Structure 1
Amino acid sequence: MQSVELARLAGVSVRALRHYHSVGVLPEPPRSHSGYRRYSVHDLVRVLRIKRLASLGIPLEGMPPLLDDDSTSAAPLLERLDAELAAEIERLERQRALIADLRENGTPPALPPALARFVGLGGTLPPSSALDRLDRDQAVLLAHVVGDEGLPGIVEAFERLAVPELREATVLLTQRFDALDDATPREDVDAFVADFAVLFGPVVAELTATGLFAVPDSATDLLATLAGDLLNETQQRVIERFDELFPAPPREVPPPV
């Protein structure tokens, strides 16, 4: 039989047959006078065995010993495959649980789930505002730079800032910040900074001192660039004033070896 017939009988493509030849799991048969490969029923059986092994997850490069010698023990290979499948099942179960949580809470899938509930103050910011975009982008960047180990600290810091008794005042302050622009009178800007310091000063000072909200040095410039691209000049000056009000504690420099 020719390759087209073998492929049809085995339920594979002719391209797959050529790949089997190239990796060495299917020996190339002799060719006819017209130059076509001539396959036998034995080749069909070998291709079916290849498919069977592939269905178990055995890679082509690991098949020759099992195809050429039925006495070869497959126990170590099957044990490894079983462990890989168990790990994949665990990963898929975690992914399903995450998807179920996203569906139940209506969380945007592109946001880090742990921080999504803090983004945009739960929908109180207009989706078109620069501050809402900054909030979302910062959440994505923060989750990435702090990693799984640092994320609980960031979440705890956000929770400290998002206590229910401060929510109404927080929404109003956030909306006031979103409205700041070059036309905002200086006294209004000063009033905003003062109100923020009164409302959040103690909590921010404590978080800053304890380093709970600390991010790696490598991320500081990235976050600053992000804010600089999305906030207007007045809002950026307010952020600078916050940095002056709540300076980060000096980082300990390890002594020279």
Structure 2
Amino acid sequence: MNSGEIARMAGVSVRTLRHYHQVGVLPEPVRRANGYREYTVRDLVLLLRIRRLAELGIALDEIPPLLQADGRADAVLDELDRELAAQIERLTARRAVIARLRAAGASPDTPPELAGVLGSGPDLPAEMLQHDREVMMLLHHRLDESGRAALTGLMSQVAEPAVLAATTELTVRFAALAPDAPDEEIDRLVADLQLVLGQLNFDGLEDVDPRTGALLTAYQDAVFNDAQREFLARLNQVPGPPQR
């Protein structure tokens, strides 16, 4: 048999056959006078055994000693079984995350802890929903485990109907700020938002590290206009709970 024939009979590609030769798992047969490899039935049987072991998930470098010593079979199969059990556990966890995101109507890139509060969101301009989601994702990435729990708790507070209605109205006003909005309009918005923020618990989010603060500032500089950035600057100057 030539390489094409043995590959077809074993149900593998010629490329796979050559790879097995390259890594040393399948010895190369003697070449005929015309330069082509000549495979025997024993080569076919060995190739079938290799294919079967590879399909089980056994690493190619584990196959030669396994073929030569039956005493290694139990140890290899035990290790393979442990690896598969770990994979099943990881896949089950991923499916649980997918189910949580689906139930919340959240986008696939939403951190699962925030799925319930960063789903489709309130009736806000799409651009503001995107900005809010991106800021939350940036914070979630930068915070430690306790900080993430605090962030989730804060967003759950914001999701309460009365608070959500107020923050939605304020966010709409923020989105509508023209670049040349008068100081009086900005100050009114700052004061109104401070009243809402005063109802929220920011425990665990008091100290955001300087690098995270710099990243948030850079994000705001990139996406908001002059009046909106001025609003955020004034909001952060007012005594009270920390702002994101």
TM-score, normalised to structure 1, is: 0.85
Q: Deviations over 1:132-153 (max 9, x none)?
A: 3211211222222225553212
Counterpart check, 1:169 vs 2:169: no
Q: Closer, same or farther in 2 for the Cα pair 1:183/1:120, shift >3 Å?
A: farther
Of the candidates 191, 194, 209, which is equivalent to residue 191 of structure 2?
Answer: 194
Segments of structure 1 that go 5 or more residues without pairing to the other structure are: 250-257
Q: Which residue of 2 aligns with 1:83?
A: 82
> What is the rounded CA distance, in whole Å, between the counterparts of 1:228 and 1:120 in structure 2?
25
Q: Which residue of 2 aligns with 1:153?
A: 150
Shifted more, 220-229 versus 139-148: the winner is 139-148
Q: Deviations over 1:178-210 (max 9, x none)?
A: 11122322212111111112222353xx52xx4
Q: Closer, same or farther in 2 for the Cα pair 1:216/1:82, shift >3 Å?
A: farther
Q: Which residue of 1 aligns with 2:24?
A: 24
> What is the rounded CA distance, in whole Å, between the counterparts of 1:25 and 1:151 in structure 2?
48
Q: Which residue of 1 aligns with 2:213?
A: 220
Q: Secondary structure of 2:150's match?
A: helix
Q: Give the letter for the 2:7 counterpart.
A: A
TM-score, normalised to structure 2, is: 0.90
Q: Which structure 1 residue ranges, 4+ long, deviate > 4 Å from structure 2?
A: 246-249
Structure 1 residues 107-118: aligned runs within 5 Å: 107-118=106-117
Residues 25 and 60, structure 1, Cα contact 8 Å, conserved in 2: yes
Q: Which residue of 2 aligns with 1:72?
A: 71
Residues 10 and 47, structure 2, Cα contact 8 Å, conserved in 1: yes
> What is the rounded CA distance, in whole Å, between the counterparts of 1:223 and 1:135 in structure 2?
11
Q: Secondary structure of 1:144's match?
A: helix
> What is the rounded CA distance, in whole Å, between the counterparts of 1:91 and 1:148 in structure 2?
20
Q: Deviations over 1:94-151 (max 9, x none)?
A: 1112222222332111222322443488132111x3x332112112222222255532
Residues 26 and 47, structure 2, Cα contact 8 Å, conserved in 1: yes
Q: Give the letter for the 1:86 counterpart.
A: A
- Following TM superposition, by how much is the alpha carbon of 1:167 offset from its aligned partner in structure 2, in angstroms? 2.3
Q: Closer, same or farther in 2 for the Cα pair 1:39/1:114, shift >3 Å?
A: same
Q: Which residue of 2 aligns with 1:11?
A: 11
Residues 180 and 226, structure 2, Cα contact 8 Å, conserved in 1: no
Q: Give the letter for the 1:197 counterpart.
A: Q
Q: Report the number of matched residues.
A: 242
Counterpart check, 1:132 vs 2:129: yes
Q: Secondary structure of 2:164's match?
A: helix
Q: Which residue of 2 aligns with 1:253?
A: none
> What is the rounded CA distance, in whole Å, between the counterparts of 1:49 and 1:148 in structure 2?
48
Segments of structure 2 that go 5 or more residues without pairing to the other structure are: none
Q: Give the letter for the 1:2 counterpart.
A: N
Q: Give the letter for the 1:26 counterpart.
A: L
- Please, what is the CA RMSD of the aligned residues? 2.2
Q: Which residue of 2 aligns with 1:255?
A: none
